Every structure is written in C-alpha cells, then in structure tokens.
Amino acid sequence: MSDWPFLSEHDDLRRSIRAFVDAELAPHADDWEAAGDFPDSVFARLGELGFLGLGYPEEYGGGGGDYLCRIVLAEEMARCNSGGVALAVAVQTDMAVPPVYKFGTEEQRHRYLAPALAGEKIFCLGISEPDAGSDVAGISTTARRVDGGYLVNGRKTFITNGRRAHMMTLVARTDTDEPHKGLSLLLVDTESEGYEVVRTLDKVGMHTSDTAEIVFTNMFVPLENLLGGEGDGFYNISWELQGERLAGAAGAIAGARRTFEMALAYAGERVAFGRPIGMHQAVKHSLADMATEIESARQLVYMAADMVNRGEYPVREISMAKLLTGQVAWKVADKALQIFGGYGYTMEFPIQRAWRDARLIRIGAGTDEIMRDVIGRIEGL
C-alpha cells in the first residue's frame, strides 16, 4: 500500500473500509441483487462508522479528512460486488450532499448536512429530466417565487435514491428567460405535498440502486431552503459535477480491477486443450492488455484526485479520467465475460453483473460525448 498519492493514514482507512465491506456488504450482494434493493440501514451503518463524512469537517459530524479519503471509499465500495449499492452511497457522499456543505448556510449545514453524514437522512440529486440530461441549461422544471418560498412544477428522471430519499438537492428554473443564469438549487423534503415518485425504472444493470421518475405539482419549498444564491444554480451544479465524475471514475476503475481479478483467477482454473486457458497466448495477451489499461486509467484518476486534494479545479483532467475509465471499465468487463465463455453469459456467474453495471459510467454524470466536448473546448477547439 501507500502508493502515490496516498499516505499511511489512507492505508489504515482503506483497511478499515475493506473489512467492513467484505464482512457486512459483499455477503449480501446476491440476495440484494435478486431483490432489486438493499436496506436503508446500510446508510445508517456507514454513518455510524464515519464513512459518509470522511472529507467533511468534524463540526458537522465529519471525519475531518482530506479529499483522498473519499477516493479510498469509492475504490473500496467496489468490493461490495453490487454496483447499485456503491452508486447509491456515492450519490450521498459525492453528488447530492457536497453542495450542501459548499453553498449552504450554517443553519442548512447543521440541519441537513449533519444528519446526511450520520446516515440519518438519505439524499438524491434532481438534475436529469425526460428532455434534459447532459444539457443542464435545458432544464424546464420551474420554481416560481411566491410569498415565503417557491412553487415547483416539473418532472425529473433517472434519479438515483429517488424512491428512498428523505431529501433532494434539486436543480430548478427560477428565471424562465435566462438559460444559464436562471437556474437555482433548492433543498427539498421528499415528504412535501406535491412530491410524487411516479415510477421506479427497470434498468439493465445497477439493480440494487433505485432509480426513480419524480413529478412535482405545485410543491412548496420555503425560501430558507434555497441553496446558494438565486440564479447561481448552473455554476453550482457545474462544480458539483466535477466531484461526481471523479468519484464515478475512481469507483469504475476499481470495479474494473475487481472484474480483471475474477477473469485472471478463472483463466488459471479453467482447462482447455490440456492446460489452463490463461496459458494460451490469446487469453494471456488479453489479460495483459486489461491490466495495462486499468493501471493507466487509475493513474489518471489519481493525478486528478491529487490536484483536487491540493485545492485545484482540474476540469480537463477530471473529464479525461471520466472518459478513459468508462471506456476501460466497459472494455475490461466485455473481455472478462469473453474469457468466461458460455458460463459468463449465464446468471450463475457474477461476471455478467459486472458487465451490466459497467456500462452506466459511460452515460451517467456526463456521457462520453459530453466529456469529449469538454476536453475539446479546453484544448482550444
């Protein structure tokens, strides 16, 4: 351990998280996948152990650690053998909750951030709509100013934790005439009148992660639940997306390494033509390529994470890491399934789950195409 950019204290944390994941999450993965859900008590347990607040100040119940602590968590959660569980936790730690700390008032931090870090309040992030995913400026959900707050109307979809959440960090349009400057963030209590989960989406992968479609009908949000300044939502959510993308990249490439290890073990056990299939050049070279690509992508993630940890805002490097890890994770999962052959295509072997789950990273938090656009603009195109 102690590989750059991590220090010995990160290694101690990694061992602690790994012991928890191996003992309390991984053994239940198959049952949770079959049920298409996992218990909310997982959040409470993570909060009890301090894992939800690793990179947050102690005054709000956090661990006071640095940003790299959150990368360690994202990597180790890949060991739970359920991409949906890891994703649900990442929404809490690196997507929906960070804006509460970054842009929230002291009252909002104590009222919402502290219970989120304790695992008492589960959060979701309300960005995507049926007609606006990567195009944040195209969001049409409105928050009309009324006496004492806002009336929200609209629809959100692909909302991870949307069914189980107690709170939503919502992106809504407070000014219909300004595509970018007209967006604002609101903290929404999901028990509010007018908040309705209309369906839970049936997905190819990430089965344990509930993904909801939600409708708002004249839902009142009090003025004190405005997060940051009115009209600052586009900037604020653009900041949030960088953390979301880097956490996703770290988890994806850690998952790819786990998938590679399954394929490597199988290649050493499965015999064909009188010897383990890993001794055949085609399989050996495929595994060598997988290991090389995983390590290359992981080092790019670490470089971006180190820059964030030093207080930089490396959009270029984060976008590259997100793009590359998504492609590598999917390629590794596909090659690994090929090594497993017919058995890999059955539901009896977990490689099919890794194959299904890996595909999402190339879509969520900004598609491959959006990442290429961002990188191209930064490079001067």
The CA distance from 185 to 287, in Å, is 45
Percent of the chain whose pLDDT exceeds 70 = 99
For the chain, what is the mean pLDDT?
96
- Give 256-280 pLDDT, tens digit per residue: 999 999 999 999 999 999 999 999 9
Place of tokens 């009209």: 231
> β-pairing, 123-126 with 167-173?
parallel
Q: Is the pLDDT of residue 332 over 70?
A: yes
Q: Is the pLDDT of residue 126 over 90?
A: yes
Average pLDDT, stretch 51-78? 97
Whether the domain at 123-229 and the domain at 235-378 fall into the same CATH topology: no
Q: Is the pLDDT of residue 232 over 60?
A: yes
Average pLDDT, stretch 240-247? 96
Place of tokens 């842009």: 103
Q: To 10 degrees, the CA torsion angle through 314, 320, 323, 329? A: -100
Distance of CA 196 to the CA centre of its chain: 23
40: how many CB neighbours lie within 10 A of its CB? 15
Q: Can you read off the two tokens belonging to residue 56?
A: 């947050």
The CA distance from 248 to 315, in Å, is 14
The CA distance from 315 to 334, in Å, is 29
Q: Is the pLDDT of residue 362 over 70?
A: yes
Percent of the chain whose pLDDT exceeds 90 = 95
Cβ–Cβ under 8 Å, residues 64 and 94: no
Per-domain residue ranges of the chain = 8-117, 123-229, 235-378
Which residues, in sequence order, are bridge partners of residue 173?
142, 183
Known active-site residue 244: yes
Q: Is the pLDDT of residue 133 over 80?
A: no
Q: Can you read off the two tokens belonging to residue 339?
A: 């090594």
Q: Is the pLDDT of residue 8 over 80?
A: yes
The CA distance from 151 to 264, in Å, is 55
Q: What angle do CA 203, 208, 210 make, to 5 degrees?
A: 65
Distance of CA 354 to the CA centre of its chain: 16
pLDDT band at 178 (very low <50, low <70, confident <90, very high): confident
What fold does the segment set 8-117 form as a domain?
Butyryl-Coa Dehydrogenase, subunit A; domain 1 (1.10.540)
What fold does the segment set 235-378 form as a domain?
Butyryl-CoA Dehydrogenase, subunit A; domain 3 (1.20.140)
Query: Which backbone phi and psi does 118 adopt, to 5 degrees?
Result: -80, -10
pLDDT band at 180 (very low <50, low <70, confident <90, very high): confident
The CA distance from 347 to 329, in Å, is 20
Distance of CA 103 to the CA centre of its chain: 20
Per CATH, domain 123-229 is 2.40.10.10: no
What pLDDT, on a 0 to 100 scale, did the predictor assign at position 2? 59
Q: Can you read off the two tokens belonging to residue 172?
A: 């809504």
What pLDDT, on a 0 to 100 scale, did the predictor assign at position 155? 98
Average pLDDT, stretch 166-182? 92
Q: Is the pLDDT of residue 1 over 80?
A: no
Element (H, E) at 351: helix 351-358
Q: 19 burial class (0-12, 13-18, 19+ CB within 10 angstroms)?
A: exposed
What pLDDT, on a 0 to 100 scale, did the predictor assign at position 20? 98
Q: Catalytic: which of 33, 129, 240, 244?
A: 244
What pLDDT, on a 0 to 100 scale, did the predictor assign at position 176? 85
- Give 42-63 pLDDT, tens digit per residue: 999 999 999 999 999 999 999 9
Cβ–Cβ under 8 Å, residues 330 and 344: no
DSSP secondary structure letter of residue 12: H
Tell me the residue length of the chain: 381
Question: Crossing angle of helices 67-77/83-90, nearest 10°?
Answer: 160
Q: Can you read off the two tokens belonging to residue 168?
A: 């939503």
Q: Is the pLDDT of residue 344 over 80?
A: yes
> β-pairing, 183-189 with 167-173?
antiparallel
Nearest C-alpha neighbor of 287 from the set 264, 256, 265, 313: 264
Q: Which residues contact 110 (CB under 8 A, 6 or more apart)?
A: 60
Average pLDDT, stretch 221-242? 96
